[in-house]
Structure 1
């Protein structure tokens, strides 16, 4: 790379893994020159490297610290259990569908079973809804529909089923805490409705009259939330920046283009700002902690390719005027993004999100027809057009290599 204003920190490593001696920092200067040096992996203060650095880079050890060690894979598999989880209600003006695949097995194929959805509030939709997995709705308003409805596994609604869907089908069991007031409903398993509520014309393999408890599918209460701010604060002090000569301000004040290529390790940046565009490339096991805002004028690309994986923690608001591209649609389970705060995250037309997003206090705004590979855990979703979610079920086994945490 020799573009003006381009900064690169690269790793010389074989596909067999990285060792402390493999770390190399390279900076391209505006005149095209470059300086490279090999440095031993160390701590942020230039001392000896953390005892778990080699275990972390081999995929075994913990990636993040909050008091005790926490393995990033285990955190991910516990957090991203649904294709979509919303801490509030979900109101859809256009079609919505989910399915699932496994990036480790092959490329995405439409219609794969899975892709659970959890909504802590009520669900309302004016267009077709198709959930490839289970649907759990926590709001007392239940489910209100205007078009066709299909659930590939089970349905649990804490309120009535209202509206006028043209057709409604649940492949598994359905538990409804209220009236079934749809013109038709077919349930492949057991339909459970409490005494005193209407069954309407619903048909099921079996009907039971017994109490149905309210459900809260998404762990949004303060005590259950991931302490993203605390994790970032810890790693502002405890990181591997010194090992590669990474300046925490490396992506501030960007004009034109700037690229950051990160090796295996845990790194801290103050913020990402400027009028230009930035690219972050990941080819190893990496955790990145951004303390403050992401505010760019032309776009941001976070490119993660096998065998790379990224845990990205964002401490401030995110505002990217141009296209925002994160992850690979082939393996979205390898990207996990955790956001602190309650800002609006906007994905404009031309953006691509292929990863797992955790922002339980944030609003996700999607423009036009939106297609997401991975999963979303947010407070609220605003979608101006159709929304399609393709869940990479590999995320449910992300902690398989963890030995602690």
Structure 2
């Protein structure tokens, strides 16, 4: 089908609250024809819409719950997000940078992003090698025995923990808080606002610190990349291929397959399942409520993908296969990136082309994130490996650490 094609699973009274009867699915084709079905036309596999659906839609109830794959327990998606996205950048392997790295933080709930905000932690499970400036507004933890190899200016706004030596010829190197280095410090000069701790026998170059301690420094693993510690994305998708709210709104799981031209899907609050998103055209997902979307297979589009999430909407997006978007990818809002959380099971290369916007929190511990040119990320990135051909700037939305605030304590 060519042209512009809309599938809207929306709230009929979107501006004035919602009730169970307001949930509808409407399909509009280029010839103007359309079909609709109310929520009463069918039931989800687990029954009809939940009694507290109105609270979900109005933003008063707790965030959507996602069931754990191997048990009958339920995990609040907000709690899952705040536990997963603790740092602006986490890599399961080492990080090699040919251009600059900048990480800072802000709170979308407090206003628009302003450069240089305190925070924005970075974690690297391997070694870190930088040919250019490294500027981290929060803490920096490096897990590789190779430690840090520095090029130009180096700044850490909070604490530093390196599992290996610190070397290079930066024009300046400073850590505002404490620094723990498991090896030699071989720099032209090193300023530490707090205590510098190194092992007995470690060689120190010119150092200025409030105190220097010589004692064992344990290695650190900043990112939870072990299989046993990872989010079971595949299991969650498999569970919700059957346990979902599709029937309650008349949503066909194959609604976003074989896209030609443009196709849009707007979702209300609830948990929904799609088989895949594929085609030669462009797709748009719109979310204005608390929503979880489970996509069983690949996302493969030739002309681009837009994921539009605006307050009070929140989206937890679970992807089971590879992601290949040839055109621009626009994810979330730079004003409130904490409202978008994406979990990817696939191990492919996630390539962001020029003109793409990443404004959300990306969890893909098996994948490589490839960034062309200068890349700016609003939110956070947790991946196996990062390839950046130009400067990398990360703006962490600290609101993600409170994403579980509305979750019950049960």
Q: TM-score range by the shorter chain?
A: over 0.9
Distance in 2 of aligned mates of 1:284 and 1:61: 10
Q: Which residue of 2 aligns with 1:81?
A: 86
Q: Which residue of 1 aligns with 2:161?
A: 156
Q: Which residue of 1 aligns with 2:348?
A: 343
CA deviations on 1:305-355 (whole Å, 9 max, x unpaired) are 011010000000000000000000000000000000211111111000100
Distance in 2 of aligned mates of 1:191 and 1:99: 23
1:144 aligns with 2:146: no
Distance in 2 of aligned mates of 1:341 and 1:52: 34
Distance in 1 of aligned mates of 2:255 and 2:215: 61
Distance in 1 of aligned mates of 2:289 and 2:401: 20
CA deviations on 1:19-60 (whole Å, 9 max, x unpaired) are 312212111023112333432396434843356655654441
With over 3 angstroms needed to count, the CA separation of the structure-2 counterparts of 1:233 and 1:43, relative to structure 1, is farther
Q: Which residue of 1 aligns with 2:19?
A: 19
CA contact (8 A) 2:126 2:143 kept: yes
Q: Which residue of 1 aligns with 2:35?
A: 35
How large is the Cα RMSD of the aligned pairs? 1.7
How many residues end up aligned between the 2 structures? 404
Question: Residue 335 of structure 2 is aligned with which of 321, 330, 339?
Answer: 330
1:280 aligns with 2:256: no
Distance in 2 of aligned mates of 1:363 and 1:227: 18
Distance in 1 of aligned mates of 2:172 and 2:23: 59
Question: Residue 262 of structure 1 is aligned with which of 258, 267, 275?
Answer: 267
Distance in 2 of aligned mates of 1:43 and 1:55: 19
With over 3 angstroms needed to count, the CA separation of the structure-2 counterparts of 1:42 and 1:400, relative to structure 1, is farther
CA deviations on 1:152-206 (whole Å, 9 max, x unpaired) are 0000000000111111010000000000001110000000111100121111011
Q: Which residue of 2 aligns with 1:248?
A: 253
Secondary structure of 1:219's counterpart equals coil
1:359 aligns with 2:361: no
Distance in 1 of aligned mates of 2:82 and 2:17: 23
Question: Residue 293 of structure 1 is aligned with which of 276, 298, 310?
Answer: 298
- C-alpha displacement at 1:272, in angstroms? 0.3
With over 3 angstroms needed to count, the CA separation of the structure-2 counterparts of 1:20 and 1:42, relative to structure 1, is farther
- C-alpha displacement at 1:10, in angstroms? 2.1
Secondary structure of 2:315's counterpart equals strand
CA contact (8 A) 2:63 2:290 kept: no
Distance in 1 of aligned mates of 2:47 and 2:406: 28
TM-score by length of 2: 0.95
Distance in 1 of aligned mates of 2:409 and 2:276: 31
1:129 aligns with 2:131: no
Distance in 2 of aligned mates of 1:135 and 1:349: 28
Distance in 1 of aligned mates of 2:194 and 2:313: 42
TM-score by length of 1: 0.96
Distance in 2 of aligned mates of 1:15 and 1:400: 25
